[in-house]
Chain A
């Protein structure tokens, strides 16, 4: 399972997992999970459009997810974010139906765009995927402090002159980049499971934001590596394991939070009782 054609799979899956884990931290603390779900689904028609025009699918994905990000960012300035997100998603999916009817793509290829094709990454996809991943992580590093403050509390950000809507737009564009790089690997339906499960688990285990980000990337890596290995051995789809491990890590995180808070409360009560005695 580490032979020739699998090498690309391991490299690409590793990059995708690490980047999704890092960017996902902000998806989770900003409450942007719906956008992180909508952008990949909305970007998926981009791949169909790209095949109509005869260009690299990643190019179509970048364009469509970026258009989706800008659309959500602009519309949610005036209305509720979830409605804006849903509207953009509907428009892009409508285009997807149109493009798919025009292409001669076979059903298996569409299936792989939806559910991923991690075991069959083409050689010419490796370079662009790594490139987009590097750009996404650099962007997060650059935006780190204002994005963090604006995510914690938009008002506190505004006080320091950080525009909430600009931060939202910048962040959605980063999510769009991750979408475009991760979609061919894990599929439109599962990109966001890597951006939500691991960070949601990681935030339970530490109070330090930077440690949480590293931990989130680590959980995403383990999720993806384990999923590929088990999928290779069992012949069950990778997506099944990615989704399952993602949700599993979330519940472990929740359980940990619950246990540690219950323990803290009990310790407090014990101290109070001691004082009272």
Chain B
């Protein structure tokens, strides 16, 4: 059990609230009136094709992008001096295999990397790092060079790095990209378990919702800078998504998978408006 998790797990308070957020970048509206909220312990997928606005939305939540209108609240307080309230795993982190750095060093830097000086040997820090590595099932490769680990293993270490300061909210930008199916499944399992165990809100962006279906409590579906949120059954429906895309889309369920097929040519839209939602599963 992780230190500090006991009370958090009980607290189903608000982890994140995005209210009426619009973002204009160089004369283009990237996000239009996006609103949704996320509670502690909830696992939410932020789904949309490339260029739909997922990364801009994550950057706005992180405070790296100032919204043109609207507000972002984290853990009930306005965005800003959030400190350790948000953990973030950026997209496509490539760790150099030539850098002498163990998994435990990287996790430790998540705890105090922003502070000046050389890390002092402290029992508190060491125990915290051990616990975090254990929580993400990474104890096995705690002393391995992190750059030489597999994609799934690196992803675990990065999650521990992001979680060690016990944030209320964990954001992950496309953490499943470049993972094989097995690691994909394991990372989703892990995140869903961590959300519950540690009482944090988890928001994970992905272009394909299928690997997340079994774990997702809620979905935020984003297309053309507009978002719809709710449970998967509420959101992933022909009416809702057609409105979002501004053209007719079909939602087809095949076994346990969902296919969103967009853009009929007779709608006057080219067939490949949203190419990545075409493929079942979108896995190439």
In whole angstroms, what is the CA distance A202 to B99 when docked? 10
Complex interface: chain B residues within 8 A of A211 (CB):
100
The closest CB in chain A to the CB of B98 belongs to: A203
A18-54: CB near B (< 8 Å → 1, else 0) gives 0000000000010000000000000000000000000
In whole angstroms, what is the CA distance A1 to B148 when docked? 46
CB of A123 closer than 8 Å to a CB of B: no
Q: Which of A153, A162, A207, A261 contacts B114 (CB 8 A)?
A: A162
CB-based contact B62/A146 at 8 Å = no
Number of chain A residues whose Cβ lies closer than 8 Å to a Cβ of chain B = 31
CB-based contact B90/A155 at 8 Å = yes
CB of B186 closer than 8 Å to a CB of A: no
In whole angstroms, what is the CA distance A161 to B62 when docked? 11
CB-based contact B93/A153 at 8 Å = yes
Complex interface: chain A residues within 8 A of B93 (CB):
153, 155-156
Number of chain B residues whose Cβ lies closer than 8 Å to a Cβ of chain A = 32
CB of B88 closer than 8 Å to a CB of A: yes
A264 to chain B, nearest CB (A): 9
CB-based contact B101/A152 at 8 Å = yes
B90 to chain A, nearest CB (A): 4
B110, B113, B116, B118: which has the most chain A beta carbons within 10 Å? B113
CB-based contact B113/A146 at 8 Å = yes
B64, B93, B98, B119: which has the most chain A beta carbons within 10 Å? B98
The closest CB in chain A to the CB of B92 belongs to: A155
CB-based contact A153/B143 at 8 Å = no
Complex interface: chain A residues within 8 A of B101 (CB):
152, 207, 209
In whole angstroms, what is the CA distance A99 to B41 when docked? 68
Complex interface: chain A residues within 8 A of B117 (CB):
141-142, 144-145
A-B CB contact pairs (8 Å), 30 listed: A29-B99, A142-B117, A144-B117, A145-B113, A145-B117, A145-B118, A146-B113, A146-B116, A149-B113, A149-B114, A151-B99, A152-B96, A152-B99, A153-B90, A153-B93, A155-B90, A155-B93, A156-B113, A158-B64, A159-B88, A159-B90, A160-B110, A161-B114, A162-B113, A162-B114, A203-B99, A209-B100, A209-B105, A210-B118, A211-B100
4 extra A-B contacts, CB within 8 A, seeds A143-B116, A209-B99: A149-B113, A152-B95, A153-B93, A207-B101
